[in-house]
Amino acid sequence: MKPSGSLKIDAFSMRIGDIDGVELDRLHALSLSVGWPHRAEDWQFLRESGHGFVALDEIGRVLGSAMWFAHGADFATVGMVITSPRLQTLGAGQWLMKQVFERVVGRDLRLNATRAARRLYLSLDFQPEKTVYQCQGIARAQTTGGSTVTRGDIRALDARDIPSVIELDAMGFGVRRAALIEKLFAHSAGYGLFKGDTLNAFALCRPFGRGHVVGPVVAESDADAMAVVRPHVADHSGSFLRVDTHMDNGEFAAFLAHSGMPVFDTVLTMSMGKRLTDFAVDGAATSVTYALASQTLG
C-alpha cells in the first residue's frame, strides 16, 4: 500500500515535502534540535549526494527528515532520519521511513542507528550487524608509540588517483560508489599508500561538524590504515578531528585514542537484505573499510 502523504499526530497534521525545497537554515535547526553537529554546508553536501523528504506542519515548520543515497541499481544507504523531540514517540519516524521504502523498492539497505532509533529500525525489519565507534577530540600528532613502518610510499592524492580510489573503496565497502567518491574528493584532502604505481590504502579528510572528519579509510592492515590517517592527524593537530570506525580493538583503535580521538559515542550498523559480510568482493577480502565516509553515507 502506498504510504499517505500526510499524517495526523495529536493536535496537528504533517505533510511530506521534498528536502531540496527547504531552506538550509531550517534543516540546520532540525539537526541542532536533536544535538547533531551537521552544519548547513554538511546538509547541502548531503542534498547534492542523495534524495530525501521533510515532514512539515501546517505552517511549514520542518519537524522531520529522511534521506537515502543510491549506489547502483541494487543498494542504498539511509540516513538523516530525524524527528523533532516532541514527535519521536508518535510514529513520525516510521511514517518517514515508509516514504523512503516507497522509493527504494528492491534495493538492499544499510544505515547506522542511534540508540534512540534502534527500536524503530528493528520494527521495520532491519537487522543489527556491527557497532560503529565515533572517535573524536582535539587531534595530537604522536611522536612515539604505534607502528610507524610503512609498506610503501605515502603521498597526497590528486585527481589522477580518483579511479584507483573508487576501485579500492568498492573493495572495502562492497559496492561501487563512483559518484559519491568523486564528490567527496572535491571537498577533501587525501593521502594514499602506494607500492609502485598501485594504490593499497587511502584516507580522505574534509570539513564536517565541529572540525574535520577522516573517512572513508580503506586499507589492508592496521599499519597501512594508520599510515594514511597519520598525515591527517598531523595536518589538524590542535584542532577537532573525528573518525567513525567499526574497529574496537587492535593497533588502529589504539592509534585513534592516542591521537586525541577516544570513543565519544556509538551507533549500530543495521541492514535490510544483504548483510555486510555478503558484500565481500571476490579476491578483495583483504581490503577493509577502516573508517566510514560518515554515519549517514556509510
Task: Please tell me if the domain spanning 6-106 has the same topology as the one spanning 133-291.
Answer: yes
More confident call, 291 vs 83: 291
More confident call, 94 vs 178: 178
Residues 256-275 have pLDDT tens digits of 999 999 999 999 999 999 99
> pLDDT at residue 4 above 90?
no
Q: Which CATH class is domain 133-291?
A: alpha beta
Residues 128-144 have pLDDT tens digits of 999 999 999 999 997 65
pLDDT, mean over the chain: 91
Among 16-20, 25-29, 51-55, 92-96, the range scoring the smallest mean pLDDT is 92-96
> pLDDT at residue 180 above 60?
yes
> pLDDT at residue 145 above 60?
no
Residues 67-92 have pLDDT tens digits of 999 999 999 999 999 987 666 556 78
CATH fold of 6-106 reads: Aminopeptidase (3.40.630)
- Domain residue extents for the chain: 6-106, 133-291
> pLDDT at residue 190 above 60?
yes
Q: Which of 168, 148, 155, 151 is nearest to 251 (CA)?
A: 148
Residue percentage of the chain with pLDDT more than 70: 90
pTM of the model: 0.91
> What is the rounded distance in angstroms from the CA atom of residue 50 to the CA atom of residue 254?
34
Residues 227-259 have pLDDT tens digits of 999 999 999 999 999 999 999 999 999 999 999
Mean pLDDT of 181-186: 97
